[in-house]
Amino acid sequence: MRTPMPMTNSMFSGLIQALNEAEALARQGSERNPVGLLRSGDRIGSYALCEHVATGGFGTVWRAEHAESGQEVAIKVLHPYLVSSEDAVSRFEREIRVIARTRHPNIVELIDCGRLDDGRPYLVTEFLHGTDLDTYIEQNGALTPEETLHILEQLGAALAAAHAEKIIHRDVKASNVVLSERDGQMRVVLVDFGVAKLLDDSSPGLTMSNVLVGSLACLSPEQIRNRRVDGRTDVYALGSLTYHMLTGEPPFSHAGVTEIINLHLDRDPPVPSSMCAVPSAFDQVVLKAMRKLPEERFADPRAFTEAFRRAVSGTDASPDGPTMRRMRALGVFVEAAAADGSLANPDEALLDELDDILVRAECGLAAEGFHVARERSNALLFVRPLSDEERGDPAVRRQAVTAAQHLFHRLMRRPGNAGRLRIRVCIHEADVLASGEDMQSGPLLQLGEWLPAQWEEGVFGSPVVLASVPGGSGCAVSRAPSWPAGPGPRPGRCPRNGHQGHGNAIAGSARPRGEGVAYSDTLPAFAPGMERACLA
């Protein structure tokens, strides 16, 4: 059964607009007044400002000292131009309530709060000497599993304490984790509860239909879709953070904003063991924490931490499910695009035509042993695992190429084809990692590594597939004109990243081109890797 489309174009457009507006607001505030009109030596309550530490989209942070005791503290003050924003003030005050509500050694401690004469709220917390986890990883590289576990144990305890108070952090990322020291031991401290959710708070929340709450590095699917959040939302973020610690990079770190959102919605990152030198025992633990459906994740941060601890000790490499296995498989990617960009705002007739194409593709390839492994609103990736006997059999690849050709021509000659949609079919063979019947990750699912960068209508194959096709390796043909790039991608799709695609046409379309396409209507930015070839 095919999964639902990730989200509507209008929802996606609203999210991207909200992100752009938030970035512009932060940039405007920083340019207008980088330290919020405050100066070193100014007094806030009983505290004297000593040093400006940071500026964010909502406020500035200062190191300060108590005028009498000399106690060192951190003071966060709302930007002056936001004092008239009810939403900004509400968010700031919510952060104060959240920190005051949770007392835990691994959560930043609230000391005081109040308002300046101009009405701006401020909060006073302990001053943490150390570095944030994001900076630490950038300077020192990926952490070992043992180092990662040490941090997870303290973070899991902090989140468990927050969840017990009905608080969901919603932004557990590396820059919100501070590595400090207490009594000669490393102390991990969770900070910045500015977008935290109070589950028992009846006041208006921060989540609105067109506002994306959280950071791209750790966004759960339910945050993107503006669905109900709970403790498992933080489990997803904790899984993303663990991935960052083990591999040295956040999941999907090389993608653009729109692409990252789509990837969080319906695609797993490459397994950690394929990105760094860690045992495969960690793959399933991390990917389970990052499952798209909350009910498929660990129930809470402590359960995730315990599973990770077992992976470190080697006592349990398979938490709550079958082990991950690597297999060889064929992949067929079927995609439709509109030359005039009309899929950005499709009418009912165009949606019906798109659905007809994808349903016909699914039915046609099912007869050849392929099933849907990944889906986008305008494309499907079909996968067929290969047995040990089939792996070395060229006839299997030739059969797949023939099936792809026949599918393409059937789709082009389908009844009612109005010519509004163009179609490409791409074939590749590579490894996949599977848990049970579920394809989790692997090179075949990393479409950006093998799809042609230039969008052309036709049937395309990778060199490993074409090597089994008579005349399919190195037989150059004249290249049909590629669709010119337009003003940019439609919401939900990512523009090309500048790679030069070669295309690997097995069978091209005889349909005339030249109208141009307004966007790149495919999955992530694509690397080259398919040499154009022809069949006899």
Q: Which of 435, 443, 176, 458 is nearest to 323 (CA)?
A: 435
The answer to whether residue 171 is catalytic is yes
Instruction: Say which residues have a Cβ less than 8 Å from residue 517's Cβ, sequence separation at least 6.
Output: 337, 338, 339, 340, 341, 422, 455, 483, 484, 485, 486
Instruction: Report d(CA 510, CA 107) in Å as an integer.
Output: 64
Quickly tell me which residue has 């190195």 as its tokens.
474
Instruction: Report d(CA 240, CA 379) in Å as an integer.
Output: 26
Q: Which of 170, 244, 176 is nearest to 211 (CA)?
A: 170
Distances (CA, A) of 215 to 157, 238, 259, 285, 345: 22, 13, 14, 22, 27
Tokens of 56: 């964010």
Instruction: Say which residues have a Cβ less than 8 Å from residue 281's Cβ, sequence separation at least 6.
Output: 311, 314, 317
Quickly tell me which residue has 């990322």 as its tokens.
173
Torsion, CA 247, CA 433, CA 318, CA 252, rounded to 10: 30
Instruction: Report d(CA 430, CA 36) in Å as an integer.
Output: 54
Q: Catalytic: which of 87, 117, 171, 356?
A: 171
In contact, 258 and 205? CB cutoff 8 Å: no
Instruction: Report d(CA 414, CA 7) in Å as an integer.
Output: 28
- What does the angle CA 265 – CA 246 – CA 107 come to, to the nearest 5 degrees? 80
Instruction: Report d(CA 2, CA 80) in Å as an integer.
Output: 50
Give 83's DSSP letter: T
In order, the DSSP letters of 164-214 are: HTTEE-S---GGGEEEEEETTEEEEEE---TT-EETT--S--S--TT---S
Give the per-residue SS3 of 349-360. Answer: HHHHHHHHHHHH
Tokens of 524: 């992530």
Let me know how many helices (H) and strands (E) the chain has, helices first. 14, 18
Q: Which of 536, 384, 509, 381 is nearest to 455 (CA)?
A: 509
Catalytic amino acids? Answer: 171
